[in-house]
Amino acid sequence: MLRWETPVPGVARVAMQDIEVGGCSISKGDRISPMLGAANTDPAEFDDPEVVEFTRNPNRHRAFGGGPHRCLGSHLARLELRVALREFHRRIPDYEIPPGVELKYTTGLRSVEALRLTFAMATP
Amino acid sequence: MSRVGVDADRCTGHGRCYTLAPDVFDADEVGHSIVLVDEVSGELEAHAVIGEQNCPESAITITR
């Protein structure tokens, strides 16, 4: 899920050396914004990248970036996600997005402005 | 027997290896990877390979 819905799709970086990426030349000192979300759906790294597969292995996704500036909060984020998803599904195991609802994604961080769900009330 | 190694200069502490293969890898005090079992074969080697393949920094080497 971190691969598919990369929460922070892009990060700001400064090139440390002259390099060419995909036919685009980047000079040392240039400010660039590598798209982690695009890397996470790169068919050169992932077979069937558009398919959500929770047991995908290997799964060398870049949701937390990489190198010296890798997300320091990644371990906490994974734990929070695990707890939040477990508790949500414990309380609301069956739910769906009502037919016809179109999700509006925000710019910057990967999130939706609103998420309408229908689900049955739990019996007391 | 295969030899498992972690390049300390490449490892930044993603923690994928010791999450997926805790019988081969562990975390040091700052969360970087350390190798618990240097020489692996059979099931342990399979676990080590899972750690190697899932390392975002390509910091793990398995020498056969």
Instruction: Please indicate whether, in this complex, the C-beta atoms of A74 and B57 are within 8 angstroms of each other.
Output: no
Interface contact flag, A57 B53, Cβ < 8 Å: yes
Q: Give the amino acid at A73.
A: G
Model confidence at A53, pLDDT cuts 50, 70, 90, reads: very high
Residue type, B23: D
- B2-63 folds as Alpha-Beta Plaits (3.30.70)
Token readout for A105 is 């994604």
pLDDT value of residue A30: 97
What band does A87 get if pLDDT is binned at 50, 70 and 90? very high
Size of interface A-B (CB pairs under 8 A): 30
Q: What is the CA A60 to chain-centroid distance, rounded? A: 13
Nearest to A61 by CA among B20, B56, B23: B56
d(Cα A76, Cα A81) in Å, to the nearest integer?
9
pLDDT digits (tens, 9 = 90+) for B7-33: 999 999 999 999 999 999 999 999 999
Q: Report yes or no: A59 at the B interface, CB cutoff 8 Å.
A: yes
Name the residue of chain A whose CA is nearest to B15's CA: A75
Interface residue ranges in chain B relative to chain A, Cβ cutoff 8 Å: 12-15, 31, 50, 53-57
Q: What pLDDT was estimated at residue A108? A: 84
Chain position carrying tokens 């890898």: B25
**pLDDT for res A121:** 79
Tens-place pLDDT, residues A60-78: 999 999 998 999 999 999 9
DSSP A12-36: -EE-SS-EEETTEEE-TT-EE--BH
Residue spans per domain, chain B: 2-63
The yes-or-no verdict on residue A8 having pLDDT over 70 is: yes
Tell me whether residue A63 is exposed, middle or buried, using C-beta atoms within 10 angstroms of its C-beta: 0 to 12, 13 to 18, 19 or more.
Answer: buried
Q: Which of B14, B50, B53 sits opposite A74 (nearest CB)?
A: B14
Please tell me the distance from the alpha carbon of residue B8 to that of residue B62, in angstroms, as a whole number: 15
pLDDT of residue A124: 62
What span, in angstroms and rounded, lies between the C-alpha atoms of B43 and B33?
20
Is B15 in Cβ contact with A74 (below 8 Å)?
yes
- 3-class DSSP assignment, residue A105: strand
Cβ of B12 and A68 within 8 Å?
yes
Q: Which of B15, B31, B55 sits opposite A60 (nearest CB)?
A: B55
In chain A, where are the structural domains located?
13-119
Query: What Cα–Cα distance (Å) separates residue A18 from each residue in A14, A21, A23, A29?
Result: 11, 10, 13, 8
Using DSSP, state whether B11 is helix, strand or coil: coil
ipTM for the predicted complex:
0.78
Quote the pLDDT of residue A123.
67
Contact (Cβ atoms closer than 8 angstroms) between residue B4 and residue B48:
yes
